[in-house]
A and B are shown apart, each in its own frame.
Chain A
Amino acid sequence: MKHDIHLIGLNHKTADVSIRERFALSDKPEAARRFICGPVRECMTLSTCNRVEVLAVGAGDVAGHVVKVWSEICGQPPQALAEAAYVHRELQAVRHVFTVASSLDSMVVGEPQILGQLKDAYRACLELGTAKVIVNRLLHKAFFVAKRVRTETEIASSAVSISYAAVELAKKIFGDLAGKRAMLVGAGEMAELAAQNLLAAGIAHITVANRTLSRAQELAARFKGTPIAIEEMYEHLPETDIVISSTGSPTVVIRARDVKDVLKLRRNRPMFFIDIAVPRDIDPDVNLLDNVYLYDIDDLKEVVEENLAQRRGEAERARTIVDAETVSFANWLSSLSLHPTIRDLMAHGENLARRELAKTLRRIGQDIDDKTRASLETLVLSIAQKLYHEPVCFLKRRTQEEGGAERFIDLSRRMFNLDRDDVPADAHADRKKGTDETCDCGLDEPDSEE
Chain B
Amino acid sequence: MGFSELLRWLAFGAYLLGSAGVFLGLVAARRGLLRAGACITGLGFAAHTMDLLVWYGGGAATVNAAFYVSVLAWVLLVVFTVLWKRLGLAFLGMAAAPMVFLVYTASFAFSGLNVVLPKAYAPAFWVVHIGALYVSMGLLAMAFGAGMAFMYMEQKIKTKAKLAGFQREMPSLTAFDAVNRIAALFGFPLFTTGLLSGFIWSGLTRSAVFTGHPREYLSLVGWLFFAFFFHQRVVTGWQGRKTARLAIWLFIYLLSSMLAVNLLFPTHHSFVETP
Contacts and interface: CB of A to CB of B under 8 A. Distances in A.
Interface in A262-315: 267-270, 287, 290-291, 293, 295, 299, 302-303, 306, 310
Given A169-B157, A172-B153, A172-B163, A267 B237 contact: yes
Contacts of B237: 267-268
B172 A171 contact: yes
Interface string B148-173: 00000100011010111000100111
Interface of B: 153, 157-158, 160, 162-164, 168, 171-175, 237-242
Contact of B240 (A171, A172, A174, A270): A270
A290 B240 contact: yes
B240 A175 contact: no
B174 A175 contact: yes
Interface of A: 157-158, 169, 171-175, 267-270, 287, 290-291, 293, 295, 299, 302-303, 306, 310
Contacts of A310: 164
A174 B157 CA distance: 12
Nearest to A287: B158
Contact of B239 (A291, A299, A303): A291
A257 to B, nearest CB: 19
B172 A172 contact: yes
Contacts of A290: 240-242
10 contacts: A158-B168, A169-B157, A172-B153, A267-B237, A267-B239, A270-B240, A291-B240, A295-B160, A299-B160, A306-B162
Contact of B157 (A158, A267, A293): A293
A174 B172 contact: yes
Contact of A268 (B162, B168, B175, B240): B240
Nearest to A288: B158
Given A175-B175, A268-B239, A270-B173, 13 more contacts: A158-B168, A172-B163, A172-B172, A173-B157, A173-B173, A175-B174, A267-B237, A267-B239, A270-B240, A291-B239, A293-B157, A293-B158, A295-B160
Contacts of B175: 175
Contacts of A171: 172
Contacts of B164: 310
Contact of B168 (A157, A267, A270, A287): A157
B173 A172 contact: yes
A442 to B, nearest CB: 23
Contacts of B153: 172
A174 B174 contact: yes
A175 B239 contact: no
Instruction: Pick from B153, B163, B175 the residue with the most CB of A within 10 Å.
Output: B163
B136 to A, nearest CB: 24
A434 B231 CA distance: 61
Contacts of B163: 172
A289 to B, nearest CB: 10
Contacts of B160: 295, 299, 302-303
Given A169-B157, A173-B157, A291-B241, A270 B162 contact: no
A169 B153 CA distance: 12
Nearest to B241: A290
Contacts of B172: 171-175
Instruction: Pick from A172, A295, A302, A306 the residue with the most CB of B within 10 Å.
Output: A172
A172 B237 CA distance: 22
Contacts of B157: 169, 172-173, 293
Contacts of B239: 267-270, 291
Contacts of A270: 173-174, 239-240
A280 to B, nearest CB: 15
Nearest to A264: B237
A175 B171 contact: yes
A248 B144 CA distance: 45
B243 to A, nearest CB: 9
B174 A173 contact: yes
A175 to B, nearest CB: 3
A244 B158 CA distance: 17
Contacts of B171: 175
A293 B163 CA distance: 15
Contacts of A295: 160
B101 to A, nearest CB: 29
